[in-house]
Structure 1
Amino acid sequence: MTGEPWDASYHDGPAPWDFGGAQPAVMRLAAEGAFTGSVLDAGCGSGENALHIASLGASVVGVDVAETALALARQKAVDRRIKADFTTADALHLDRLRRTFDTVLDCGLFHSFDADERPPYVAGLASVTKPDGTLYVLCFSSEGPDTGPHPVTREDLTAAFNPNTGWHIATLENTKLETRYHNNGAPAWLATINRT
């Protein structure tokens, strides 16, 4: 998808996934010291997760195709006096960043891609993740009531992230993904995936 539909999500107020803070699951990971070294937030939106991680001292780059979201993220960084970089990038062409990261976060992006888009996206993630680096994927799950749009099965994740694509899923746990339309969060997967 081009940036235009994503950008339009921010034109009339917050996007459906932009509930006004960092995802609790991401905050828990950060509190556990999960985000080490250089960090990439792929599909950073208006920057809440990236800014939370950066506020703890990490070097963070957030990328998105939505220019309006990036402008919001940059302004938040200024207002909160947090150092983080936000730049335009197409998640299906992450190799164009021409750099690698120790830790990568995908919060709410993987589930937005269809079956044909997932392989190039996963390959792009591999191109920007250092060997032995860690990828965290937080996405809507197909398991449970009141699922979010485009829910992902366990099999979807294991098919995408496996040794043939340069990955090993270390852990896969049930959690919640907060949105503006789910009172108690939508069922979600939190996958910890190692770059092989």
Structure 2
Amino acid sequence: MPGTSADDPFAGRQPTAHERMTGLPWDASYHDGPAPWDVGRPQPAVVRVAAAGGFAGAVLDAGCGTGENALHVASLGRPVLGVDVAGTALAIAREKAHDRGIAAEFAVADALRLERLGRRFDTVLDCGLFHALDGDERPGYVASLASVTGRGGTLYVLCFSDDGPGTGPHPVGRHELRAAFEPATGWEVAAVEPDRILTRFHDDAGAPAWLATIRRL
């Protein structure tokens, strides 16, 4: 575990529920080949949102992994910062950006302490992070997202759904999204639509998902 200096992005960080369950840090997911959620291309839902002009202004990809979603948005000319706790994933993302000639920024950060970035964003993407946090972690995460999202900004959450066969691990109910991002937390859920998430352990159709569009109040 890193130290506790003022410059340490992990100062005071506790292992997430996923890390406690597996007994391994998130970084370990990238040590022996691609992680289960690393499909080598952007998620189709993210591509559709981008094609519809959904990523406006400065964009944050929270839990960016090896950067495919962030790189796709950046390739369209948006300023993008991808953050993750997994240094191995970020190294891969930076190499991809260099090889593809895409101007995207990647940084180590704790998604539960995003205020430490000292920056504001107009659009935020969470692809596969919300569903990995348990109920006790979600309020802090929601507040963390609010701390870096400008008022009137948009958050997109793509997460495993509990609706349908072949669900992924840690599936989420529609009501859980609405409860987490209620107006009292500084957010308003504009829509929660059924979608799909591609993974390395599902077939080409992927797993049932929700795509939530959430506005910062």
Is the pair's TM-score, using the shorter chain for normalization, greater than 0.5?
yes
- Give runs of aligned pairs for residues 46-125 of structure 1, distance below 5 A: 46-125=66-145
Residue 212 of structure 2 is matched in structure 1 by 191
Within 5 Å, give how 1:135-154 maps onto structure 2. Answer: 135-154=155-174
Residues 88-146 of structure 1, C-alpha deviation per residue, up to 9 Å, x if partnerless?
00011111111110000000000000011000000000001000000000000000100
Secondary structure of 1:9's counterpart equals helix
Give the match's secondary structure for 2:215: strand
Instruction: For residues 138-193 of structure 1, give each alpha carbon's deviation from its aligned partner in whole angstroms, at most 9, with x where no partner exists.
Output: 00000010000000001110110010000001111000000001101000000000
The code of the aligned residue for 1:188 comes to A
In structure 2, the partner of 1:20 is 40
1:165 to 173, 185, 204: 185
Structure 2: stretches of 5+ with no match in the other structure: 1-14
Instruction: State the secondary structure of the residue aligned to 1:173.
Output: strand
What is the alpha-carbon distance in structure 2 between the residues aligned to residue 5 and residue 182 of structure 1?
A: 23
- Could you tell me which amino acid in structure 1 is paired with residue 189 of structure 2? I
The share of aligned pairs that are identical, in percent, is 69
| Mapping 1:8-47, distance limit 5 Å | 8-47=28-67
Corresponding residue of 2:5: none
SS in 1 for 2:54: coil
SS of residue paired to 2:30: coil
The RMSD of aligned alpha carbons is 1.0
The alignment's TM-score, normalised by the length of structure 1, stands at 0.98
- The 2-side partners of 1:65 and 1:96 are apart by 13
Deviations 1:30-54 (A, max 9, x none): 0001001000000000000000000
Distance (whole Å) between structure 1 residues aligned to residue 117 and residue 132 of structure 2:
21
2: CA distance between counterparts of 1:118 and 1:110? 7
Q: Deviations over 1:52-95 (max 9, x none)?
A: 00000000000000000000000000000000000000011111
Residue type at the aligned position of 1:132: G
In 2, distance between residues paired with 1:181 and 1:20? 13
Instruction: Give 4+ residue runs of structure 1 displaced > 2 Å after superposition.
Output: 1-4
Gaps of 5+ in 1: none
Larger radius of gyration: 2
The count of residues paired between Structure 1 and Structure 2 equals: 196
TM-score relative to the length of structure 2: 0.89
Question: CA–CA distance in 1 between the matches of 2:144 and 2:58?
Answer: 17
For 1:64, the aligned partner's letter is D
